[in-house]
Structure 1
Amino acid sequence: MVQKDNQNNDGDVKTNLIGHTDGETRQTPNTDNKPGLSKEDLEGKVDYEMSIGSYTDLTEGVLTDDRDERKPSEKPTVPDGGYGWFVVLGCFLSHVIVGGFERNDGVYYLQFKARFNESAQLTSWPGALVSTLRLFLGPVASAVCSMYSVRTTTIIGAIILTLAQILNAFTPNFYFLFFSHSALQGVGRGLMYAPSLIIISMYFDKHQGLAAGLGSSGVGVGTFCLVPFTQFLFDTYGFQGTFIIMAGIALNGMLVAMLYRPLSMHRRFTQETRITDTDQLEVEQEVVLAQLAEAGDSTSIQSIRLHRKSVSVSEKEDSRALTHLTSTGPVPEQKQSEGWCLSSLKICFPVEHQGKAGSNKKKLFHFGLLKDPSFLMFCVSIGLFTAAFKAAFTFIPALVKSKNLSESDAAMVLSICGIFDTLGRIVSGLILDRPLLRPHRLLLYNSFVFAIATVSFILPFLKSFATLSVMCSFYGALTGAYISQKSVVLVDILGIENMSSSFGLLICFQAMGMCAGPPLSGALRDAFGGFDEAFYLGGCFMVLAGLLMIASNIFLTIKNRRHRSHQKPAKLPETEAQ
């Protein structure tokens, strides 16, 4: 798209150019008697395309619109539907694979024990390490998403997960499982898990809670589909055949990644429309902007590239009338290869990236976010919740069996818990996305953890299958809601711009909780001879997590009030580049 700069009475457009030289560029003004390119010259096959990558950073530029002036601080718009629901489908399928493999650890434990005949404690380590490693790799997975893309990260994870299954099939001894099953599979799961949650926040705002709930509900589906299917495979095809088939299932993660269309590609597909009327386009002459050298922290627009391919205009809501984009200062002279360069360009694009060039460089570990008290307390709260949650799901079958119920009853109670886990994820998204409840989302989210604590304290007192089933259904629904909405709450606390970096740190705290919870509960079992104390400890962890969430909400409220009190309306610069 090309925008008018200066227009005379005849309708010609004048564009300030930097002269064309072989070795360097210099600014040369237009003259009034220089002929322009008429609209008739554009008849037939007009072939231009504006390409700015994925909305290239327009450094210190300001976009104005006669109808709707956008503030520089306004966050980029998101689709909030449309193709985003296919992204949710990809997230759902990713959770089916990762969640199903995660819940398969109990089945794998029995097979490893029968095949290698090691002690129970040693045999449990590969399954414990793979879950912990998946979470500890959160910052790495988030950094890979930031530096490359969500799609690329998911593909890498699927390949590694597939390789791990193949190596498991031909493992020569038990200790090789620490490499193939624990290390490789943990990396593969981690690189598939984090992107599936990050991309939801990229595509959704108003319906983010519902989208997150639908996507993460794949864990429950994976549990009820893959776990019995895996046991069937072991019974039918044996150890090697099962893991080869599981490798094929893991490879489907690459197909899942294809649904993760980059947001920039989505916007280009939805915003561009071929120009069929040459009256929409008026230019003075063919221009190709040469790409200038990267200017680091320079405060002026350095380059935007025009490719002679196609002319397109946007008909989406975010597109405005062709208006002005003005740099804040003159473009300095510099060495450059042959080409034409604009010292002043006026064009319209939706605001997405503003700020200094180089400000969007990615950080591998953004530990500076932990200086925010609200975020730090939220992370610790999630860590405590995970410790109690992991211990509870580890010992619920044992607790049921200790009430003089059968192993099948214990498995059924756990299955009921999983069913309501899925329902809780979906329903919580619907509830927390209601317009009346969205402003109070953090408060409602905080109430979930206190409800879970109450259930944890009640469970040891129940004796019958019916009462245990009812209470475990509440436990599953509440924990499912709490887990599925953590990425949504994270955006409420830090904003979408910090989603990738902050989510990785959050998962790290989850990993620490996963490591600490079951061993502490197991120590109480050894000390007191029962499982009741493990659930009491879990209830205490939940109460402490809820108190930290209250403190986090208080700090966040104070921070937001201070921000609003110091915020001033942004002023649009009136000076154009010379």
Structure 2
Amino acid sequence: MIETRGRHGGSASTVGGNAATVDSPVEAEIDAEAHLPAKTERESREPDPPPNGGTVAWLQVLGSFFLFFNCWGTVNSFGVFQTYYENNPYWSETPSNISWIGSIQAFLLLMVGVVTGPIYDRGYFRTLVVIGSFLVPFGFMMTSLCREYWQVVIAQGIVVGLGNGFLWVPSVAILPQYFTTKKALANGIAAAGSSCGGICYPIVFRALEQRVGFGWATRAIAFIALGTLTFSICIMKQRVMPKQKRKLLDLDAFKEGPYTLYCVGMFLAFTSFYGPVYYIQPYAIQTGLTDTSFGFYLLPILNTASVPGRIIPNFVGDYIGPMNVLVPAAFLTGVMALIWIGVSTLGGIIAFACFYGFFSGAFISIAPVAIVALTPDLRKIGTRMGQSFFVCSFGLLIGTPVSGAILTSTGRWIGVQLFSGILLLATASAFFAARTCHVGWKLKVKA
């Protein structure tokens, strides 16, 4: 028997400590392939297709639900802080200045997401979630100690905003790894967490602020955030690693009409959408439609209606196409913002909160799914989504302060209502133009 040499010139391999002779160079080659390190074998193997169901997959939806619950949920809850800060005993600022706190928080949510996207692509999913899960409760803890306006801007606006930014990308990026055929439904269920956070946090804050004061009411929110985010850390995991690292920019995308029109629509949407969310409570209280005790619950009512608005249209979108849901949802949200002008009774403002919450929830939650339909090369979806978030972030930054400045300068609510309504109708027009450029005028096309 002749001992052969391996491909690297070494002697024949041994298995289990017993020498194993090889009869030919061909067998030596086969034997070497069979004993390649397991890690290399895993790296060369294509990942299994998304399961589209099962316990592990739906646990990711639940974990993403709680990430939404805290990142967008805290943004959707700022209206209750807006109302409190306008009458708080520590400092006095205009509604426009106060709204900068919430707008900075929302701006950082999307802006930081542009940077954390490539970090996520490098496999740091858990790191991002852990950092965000620390910053959000920490920011609220520090807010509970604040006694000056600038301190609240730093603690609630910047620190919580940064934490939200670290949570945002993992909350949306993890679901496509587990779902393809049910991705819109899964995204809608997860996105409903933002509405649930917008229900829970205002009620908790209002109930506790009256009993134990601002400090402990805000700390209670911090403890809820810490508990729910810890749950997400425990159950969520990245299923596959991207083969290619995502580029931060794809400027050629703006040469495509549908994508550019979509980004314009999203900028207009986030500039105008949060006007009613931030100001529905002050409007109802200051115009005498209700007293302070009930006025604080209008925001939770709006967010409650947003829960089915985020799930049902997304379910429909899996069958008829996300753009075919996005356009009418944005249009009806704009119509509701204009109907707000004629609301003059308590029943009317409650009905407005319900309808506005439903339709706005629909177009906000399905918008990230719609961009997939406008992207020919899905390998660039992360970059294109990041760029659209970057554009949207400036709408979030300026939208509510502009509404507050209109209110301060005119002293009338009709300017705020027209600002939101007209821009939301312009949003629907931009989305319709994007759909038309993409698939033409055919109404029965799944887009």
How do 1:75-224 and structure 2 match up within 5 A?
77-82=49-54, 83-108=56-81, 110=84, 114=88, 116-120=90-94, 122-171=97-146, 174-224=149-199
Q: What TM-score do the two structures reach when normalised by structure 2?
A: 0.81
Structure 2: distance between partners of 1:144 and 1:53: 25
Say if 2:202 and 2:300, in contact at 8 Å, map to a contact too: no
Say if 2:329 and 2:363, in contact at 8 Å, map to a contact too: yes
Out of 483, 490, 502, the position equivalent to 2:364 is 483
Name the SS of the counterpart of 2:236 in structure 1: coil
Point out the structure with the larger helix share.
2
Give 1:512 deviation, angstroms: 1.6
- Give the equivalent residue in structure 2 for 1:533: 415
Say if 2:91 and 2:149, in contact at 8 Å, map to a contact too: no
Code of the residue aligned with 2:314 in structure 1: it is G
Say if 2:80 and 2:299, in contact at 8 Å, map to a contact too: no
Structure 1: distance between partners of 2:390 and 2:178: 24
- Give the equivalent residue in structure 1 for 2:264: 380
Structure 2: distance between partners of 1:404 and 1:175: 31
When the two structures are aligned, how many residues end up with a matched partner?
A: 417
The 1:171/1:523 distance shift into structure 2, 3 A limit, reads closer
Code of the residue aligned with 1:206 in structure 2: it is T
The 1:204/1:33 distance shift into structure 2, 3 A limit, reads closer
Provide Cα deviations, 1:128-186, integer angstroms capped at 9, x if missing partner.
Answer: 32222222222112222123333321112112223323433455754333333322211
The 1:126/1:447 distance shift into structure 2, 3 A limit, reads closer
Say if 2:281 and 2:296, in contact at 8 Å, map to a contact too: yes
Structure 2: distance between partners of 1:542 and 1:53: 52
Structure 2: distance between partners of 1:113 and 1:535: 22
Provide Cα deviations, 1:521-573, integer angstroms capped at 9, x if missing partner.
Answer: 33443455422232223222122212221222233337xxxxxxxxxxxxxxx
Does 2:344 align with 1:463?
A: yes
The 1:254/1:56 distance shift into structure 2, 3 A limit, reads farther
Structure 1 spans left out of the alignment, 5+ residues: 1-15, 23-30, 59-74, 266-351, 354-359, 559-578
Name the SS of the counterpart of 2:273 in structure 1: helix
- Give the equivalent residue in structure 1 for 2:239: 263
Does 2:399 align with 1:424?
A: no
Structure 2 spans left out of the alignment, 5+ residues: 12-21, 441-447
Say if 1:157 and 1:188, in contact at 8 Å, map to a contact too: yes
Say if 2:76 and 2:195, in contact at 8 Å, map to a contact too: no
Provide Cα deviations, 1:259-313, integer angstroms capped at 9, x if missing partner.
Answer: 3221228xxxxxxxxxxxxxxxxxxxxxxxxxxxxxxxxxxxxxxxxxxxxxxxx
The 1:426/1:372 distance shift into structure 2, 3 A limit, reads same
Out of 383, 400, 403, the position equivalent to 1:521 is 403
Higher alpha-carbon deviation: 457-466 or 398-407: 398-407
How do 1:299-378 and structure 2 match up within 5 A?
360-378=244-262
Give 1:207 deviation, angstroms: 0.8
Give 1:449 deviation, angstroms: 1.3
Say if 1:98 and 1:192, in contact at 8 Å, map to a contact too: yes
Give 1:497 deviation, angstroms: 2.5
The 1:57/1:167 distance shift into structure 2, 3 A limit, reads farther
Provide Cα deviations, 1:483-537, integer angstroms capped at 9, x if missing partner.
Answer: 1111211222225433332222222222222233223333443455422232223
Structure 2: distance between partners of 1:411 and 1:113: 13
Structure 1: distance between partners of 2:94 and 2:263: 33
Higher alpha-carbon deviation: 75-84 or 370-379: 75-84
Say if 2:128 and 2:167, in contact at 8 Å, map to a contact too: yes
Provide Cα deviations, 1:212-261, integer angstroms capped at 9, x if missing partner.
Answer: 11101112222222222234444555555455544433333243133322
Structure 1: distance between partners of 2:86 and 2:352: 33
The 1:405/1:243 distance shift into structure 2, 3 A limit, reads closer
Say if 2:71 and 2:109, in contact at 8 Å, map to a contact too: no
Give 1:80 deviation, angstroms: 1.6
Structure 1: distance between partners of 2:135 and 2:257: 36
- Give the equivalent residue in structure 1 for 2:385: 503
Provide Cα deviations, 1:371-416, integer angstroms capped at 9, x if missing partner.
Answer: 3332221111011112221112223334444664113554454433
Structure 2: distance between partners of 1:250 and 1:409: 25
Say if 1:150 and 1:262, in contact at 8 Å, map to a contact too: yes
The 1:112/1:254 distance shift into structure 2, 3 A limit, reads farther
Code of the residue aligned with 2:402 in structure 1: it is L
Higher alpha-carbon deviation: 156-165 or 385-394: 156-165
Out of 281, 290, 299, the position equivalent to 1:397 is 281
Provide Cα deviations, 1:411-451, integer angstroms capped at 9, x if missing partner.
Answer: 454433221111111111222223xx24xx31232121122
The 1:455/1:243 distance shift into structure 2, 3 A limit, reads closer
The 1:406/1:173 distance shift into structure 2, 3 A limit, reads closer
Give 1:56 deviation, angstroms: 4.5
